[in-house]
């Protein structure tokens, strides 16, 4: 309800808090790693959807940003004059989205991906009459089994189709890698690159991503750039994987105990609308900072249920800070986040690219 900055004691809950000091440290840490290994950084903005945080990433050394949707890219570009190089890692289809994409391409350096001919042909139709061609990278399946061509040969075939298509230029290769398998990326990309170069086409960019594997990105030296997203905030899934500690978690949800109906049970005012029901393979829906004895075992939309093995020792009105399982999806649930600096709320920032569904 509040639109003005409040304190951690007075802000209405549930409230999403972003500790900007921690976020800065997280940004700098990966940028230093990438710089040391000659890797360019193109952070994925899906995690924060905040122009000011994208600017922090660019000022730290990122070469541009990654978005997952045309609509998210539009929102970010409109809000920040510093965002001028955007990769949209998505198969873009449909007349309306293609119109918006073409309009964006007239404003900034834009590239997209494709893993099939239908998408390439649609992009070509939309860009054939545009003043400048669109860069299209081929998305490759290096083991995550989501999108992506299945083989290096298929990647080379699509690269050639892009290179010949009116309105398009071949921009390189892109993958969302399997966790902790840089070898798979290295092998697939080297073979695809060789096939494509053998056809007389240059491969200017090979881009990989994902926070879980980011500190091993250099183990796939064929990669030229990397697209981490969650690293800026971190979350319970990353702590559980050993990628960071609780002290590295910049996004927390502040919640209030609204009921203590049993000695080992308490109810907070943060449910799936604030914490999300994303499990990411974990059990429970978040970590209560300072209370590793508590499990958040059940969420409804507006309630979170906390259970403890011993007495829960909470009273109605107590405030708790929770690290959610998955930070990115929390960002998308709220219209604004409370910025924390030096341990206190300093501002309320609108989540500019939230809720871009189409």
267 within 8 A of 13, measured Cβ to Cβ: no
Binder to a second copy among 305, 320, 324, 327 (CB under 8 A)? 305
Q: Which is nearer to a second copy, 42 or 46 (CB)?
A: 46
Site string for a second copy, 261-290 (x = CB under 8 A): xx--x-x-x--xxx-xxxx-----------
Contact pick of 90, 170, 188, 231 for a second copy (by CB under 8 A):
90
Nearer to a second copy, 100 or 287 (CB): 100
Backbone φ/ψ region at 178: left (φ over 0), alpha (ψ -120 to 50), beta: beta
224 lines the binding site for a second copy (CB under 8 A):
no
- Single residue of 333, 345, 352, 353 touching a second copy by CB under 8 A: 333
Rounded Cα gap, residues 139 and 66, in angstroms: 14
**How near is the Cβ of 35 to a second copy at its closest, in Å?**
28
Instruction: Name the minimum Å distance from CB 256 to a second copy.
Output: 6
The token pair at 140 is 């490759």
Q: What is the rounded distance in angstroms from the CA atom of residue 177 to the CA atom of residue 182?
A: 8
Q: Which residues pair with 66 in a beta bridge?
A: 44, 87
- Is the torsion defined by CA of 170, 225, 352, 56 positive or negative? negative
Task: Pick the piece of the chain touching a second copy (CB under 8 A) from 34-42, 127-135, 166-174, 301-309.
Answer: 301-309
Classify strands 304-308 and 294-299 as parallel, antiparallel or unpaired: antiparallel
- Nearest approach in angstroms of CB 294 to a second copy is 16
Strand 168-175 with 134-140, pairing: parallel
Show contacts with a second copy in window 1-40 (CB under 8 A): 1-2, 10, 12-16
Q: How many CB atoms lie within 10 A of CB 57?
A: 29
Q: Are 140 and 173 in contact (CB under 8 A)?
A: yes
Kindly write out the interface string for residues 34-73 of this chain, putting x where it contacts a second copy by CB under 8 A and - elsewhere: ------------x---------------------xxxx--
Cα gap 284→261, rounded to integer Å: 20
Angle at the Cα of 140 (from 241 to 202), degrees rounded to 5?
125
179 near a second copy, judged by CB under 8 A = no
Q: Which residues bind a second copy (CB under 8 A)?
A: 1-2, 10, 12-16, 46, 68-71, 90-91, 93-97, 100, 115-116, 118-119, 141, 145-150, 256, 258-262, 265, 267, 269, 272-274, 276-279, 298, 300-303, 305, 315-317, 328-329, 332-335, 355, 357-358
């Amino acid at each position: 309800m509040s639109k003005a900055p409040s304190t951690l004691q007075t802000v209405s809950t549930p409230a999403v808090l972003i500790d900007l000091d921690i976020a800065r440290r997280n940004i700098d840490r990966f940028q230093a790693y990438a710089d040391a290994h000659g890797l360019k950084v193109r952070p994925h903005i899906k995690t924060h959807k905040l122009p000011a945080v994208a600017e922090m990433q660019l000022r730290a050394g990122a070469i541009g940003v990654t978005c997952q949707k045309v609509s998210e890219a539009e929102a970010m570009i409109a809000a920040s004059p510093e965002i001028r190089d955007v990769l949209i890692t998505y198969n873009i289809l449909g007349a309306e989205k293609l119109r918006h994409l073409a309009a964006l391409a007239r404003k900034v350096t834009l590239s997209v991906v494709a893993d099939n001919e239908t998408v390439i042909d649609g992009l070509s139709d939309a860009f054939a009459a545009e003043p400048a061609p669109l860069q299209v990278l081929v998305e490759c399946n290096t083991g995550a089994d989501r999108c992506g061509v299945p083989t290096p040969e298929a990647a080379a075939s699509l690269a050639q189709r892009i290179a010949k298509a009116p309105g398009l230029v071949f921009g390189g290769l892109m993958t969302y890698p399997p966790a902790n398998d840089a070898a798979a990326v290295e092998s697939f990309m080297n073979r695809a690159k060789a096939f494509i170069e053998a056809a007389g086409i240059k491969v200017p960019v090979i881009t990989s991503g994902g926070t879980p594997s980011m500190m091993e990105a250099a183990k796939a030296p064929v990669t030229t750039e990397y697209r981490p997203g969650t690293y800026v905030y971190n979350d319970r899934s990353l702590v559980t994987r050993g990628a960071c500690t609780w002290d590295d978690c910049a996004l927390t949800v502040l919640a209030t105990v609204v009921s203590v109906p049993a000695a080992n049970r308490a109810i907070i005012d943060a449910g799936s609308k604030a914490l999300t029901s994303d499990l990411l393979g974990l059990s429970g829906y978040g970590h209560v900072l300072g209370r590793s004895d508590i499990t958040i075992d059940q969420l409804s939309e507006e309630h979170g249920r906390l259970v403890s093995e011993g007495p829960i020792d909470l009273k109605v009105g107590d405030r708790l800070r929770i690290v959610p399982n998955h930070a990115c999806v929390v960002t998308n649930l709220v219209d604004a986040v409370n910025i924390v600096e030096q341990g206190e709320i300093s501002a309320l920032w609108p989540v500019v690219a939230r809720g871009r569904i189409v």
